[in-house]
Structure 1
Amino acid sequence: MPPVLVVPALAGLALLLLPMAGLAWRAPWGRLPGLLTADHVLTALRLSLTTATLATVLALIMGIPVAWMLARDNVRGRGVLRGLVTVPLVLPPVVGGIALLVAFGRRGVVGGWLEQTFGINVPFTTVAVIMAQTFVAMPFLIIAVEGALRGADSRYDQIAASLGASPWTTFRRVTLPSVAPSVVAGAILCWARALGEFGATITFAGSLPGTTRTLPLEAYAAIGAGDTDTALVLSVIMVAVCVTVLVALRDRWVRAL
């Protein structure tokens, strides 16, 4: 590394790592065993893991076709569409939650129709948590897969088509395996982002214990109740889970692919 870059690099590492080190330093580790076995913490952790996983599955089902559309299809206004798809990356999460309410709330464009026609009420349910997490996390997957599709050699697709393979077979047997590492990397980032989602969730789904109160919301509730120790321990748990997933899965699975 050039010497001129050493100081900025160290400053950047300090900015990124010191807050997490501070959490570990200030956390009341003596309360950790009791909190890990507390019913409300286990419920919030179980809900977070379940909803983040389901949100990632939805992101894979919907995000990969969107990435294909942006990378390979000649869709009119593709640049505008790409910008709109990635808006959740920079949109304040609370604004995202408000947008979800406008679309799927009881008086929303789609939500009102769902309630009147089928009696389905989406906001303030576990489904709303999954939708909020998918909304904010799916762009990570789309960007990763689109970039890989743009960089992949499309001649293999053409060869498969010339040999009689259908578009679906070509996609499943040729295209998707060629971008599998990017799909895995994008899914990991998507899952980690969904696990830590807060703003859109609390706005669209609320903070109902056992139903919509995920681990980040549980930590926020602890702060609101003046229980700083619990909030610190829950924060450490979330950091540990995210670091474990990002390091173990990304370094091993992606490299293996």
Structure 2
Amino acid sequence: MVHDFWSPVKVSIEVAIISGIIVLIVGVCLGAMMAGKKFKGKSVVETLFLLPLVLPPSVVGFLLIVTFGKNSPIGKLYEWVFHQSLIFTFSAAVIAAAVVAFPLMYQSAKTGFEAIDSDIVGAAKVDGANRRVIFLFVLLPLAFKSIISGGILSFARALGEFGATLMFAGNIPGKTQTLPTAVYLAIDAGNMKLAWAWVGCIIVISFFMLMIININRKSEK
């Protein structure tokens, strides 16, 4: 019974951490690249970045199956390298969580970078700093609080992902069964005590995540 309770908690946290790291790296890099940039088609590119935020989870799951399924080039390459299908694996759960969490990280990081005074960057260039030095020692420190907020929101979103994960990764206990899918099955089976325990776990984790964000925002004022 104890193992049955902690198994989806463990899987959810692992999925949220790994997908959160991926989203953090990709979101920060793309946010820095897009901040303040003007080019033809930028609005289209950014709309694509933010699309998973508004699409129904079932649609996201369907698109992931089409993109990474057995008949897709990526799916065939994965199966050739790892000798198994990507669908219904832990990796699939990570991908699903990362896709739905990415828009939050990207938007927060881009907002943080755009809030930096261009004069500061200009002064760094005058002092001879190259792009890498400016990014690591000027942009990242100044946008740090926005990046942290985006990272926490992304983690919380990945932790609560349900629809796309269920379609793409399935609901395999100990492997791809996350807290949201476990709650769904517990309710379906009439086990309200176990469902409440998992719901409480999600609420507590999400509460502390949001509290950290609020404290972070207040410190900016």
Tell me how far 1:115 sits from its aligned partner. Answer: 1.9
Equivalent pair of 1:41/1:218 in contact (CA under 8 Å): no
Q: Distance in 2 between matches of 1:220 and 1:210?
A: 16
Equivalent pair of 1:140/1:186 in contact (CA under 8 Å): yes
Residues 184, 254 of structure 1: alpha-carbon distance in 2 compared, 3 angstrom cutoff: farther
Q: Which has the larger radius of gyration?
A: 1
Aligned residue number for residue 128 of structure 2: 164
Q: CA RMSD in A?
A: 1.7
Equivalent pair of 1:138/1:190 in contact (CA under 8 Å): yes
Aligned residue number for residue 87 of structure 2: 123
Q: Distance in 1 between matches of 2:14 and 2:217?
A: 23
User: Where does structure 2 lack aligned partners over 5 or more consecutive residues?
Assistant: none
Identify which of 154, 167, 176 aligns with 2:140: 176
Higher mean C-alpha displacement, 232-241 vs 117-126: 117-126
Tell me how far 1:68 sits from its aligned partner. Answer: 1.8
Q: For residue 13 of structure 2, give the secondary structure of its aligned residue in structure 1.
A: helix
Q: Distance in 2 between matches of 1:242 and 1:200?
A: 20
Q: For residue 110 of structure 1, give the secondary structure of its aligned residue in structure 2.
A: helix
Residues 168, 124 of structure 1: alpha-carbon distance in 2 compared, 3 angstrom cutoff: same
| Alignment of structure 1 residues 73-222 onto 2, 5 Å | 73-116=37-80, 119=83, 121-222=85-186
Instruction: Report % sequence identity.
Output: 32
Q: For residue 91 of structure 1, give the secondary structure of its aligned residue in structure 2.
A: coil
Residues 150, 253 of structure 1: alpha-carbon distance in 2 compared, 3 angstrom cutoff: closer
Number of aligned residue pairs: 220
Q: Deviations over 1:96-151 (max 9, x none)?
A: 11111111111124112332455353211111111110000010011111112222
State the one-letter code of the partner of 1:250: I
Tell me how far 1:66 sits from its aligned partner. Answer: 1.3
Q: Deviations over 1:153-183 (max 9, x none)?
A: 1221122122111101100000111111100
State the one-letter code of the partner of 1:235: V
State the one-letter code of the partner of 1:41: F
Equivalent pair of 1:102/1:109 in contact (CA under 8 Å): no
Tell me how far 1:77 sits from its aligned partner. Answer: 0.8
Identify which of 42, 51, 57 aligns with 2:21: 57
Q: Distance in 1 between matches of 2:39 and 2:84?
A: 34
Aligned residue number for residue 16 of structure 1: none
Identify which of 30, 39, 44 aligns with 2:8: 44
Tell me how far 1:47 sits from its aligned partner. Answer: 1.0
State the one-letter code of the partner of 1:67: G
Tell me how far 1:253 sits from its aligned partner. Answer: 4.6
Normalised TM-score (structure 2): 0.93
State the one-letter code of the partner of 2:194: T
Aligned residue number for residue 203 of structure 2: 239
Equivalent pair of 1:69/1:75 in contact (CA under 8 Å): no
Equivalent pair of 1:97/1:199 in contact (CA under 8 Å): yes
Equivalent pair of 2:57/2:164 in contact (CA under 8 Å): yes
Aligned residue number for residue 225 of structure 1: 189
State the one-letter code of the partner of 2:201: I
Q: Distance in 2 between matches of 1:165 and 1:120?
A: 47
State the one-letter code of the partner of 1:69: M
State the one-letter code of the partner of 2:52: P
Tell me how far 1:189 sits from its aligned partner. Answer: 0.6
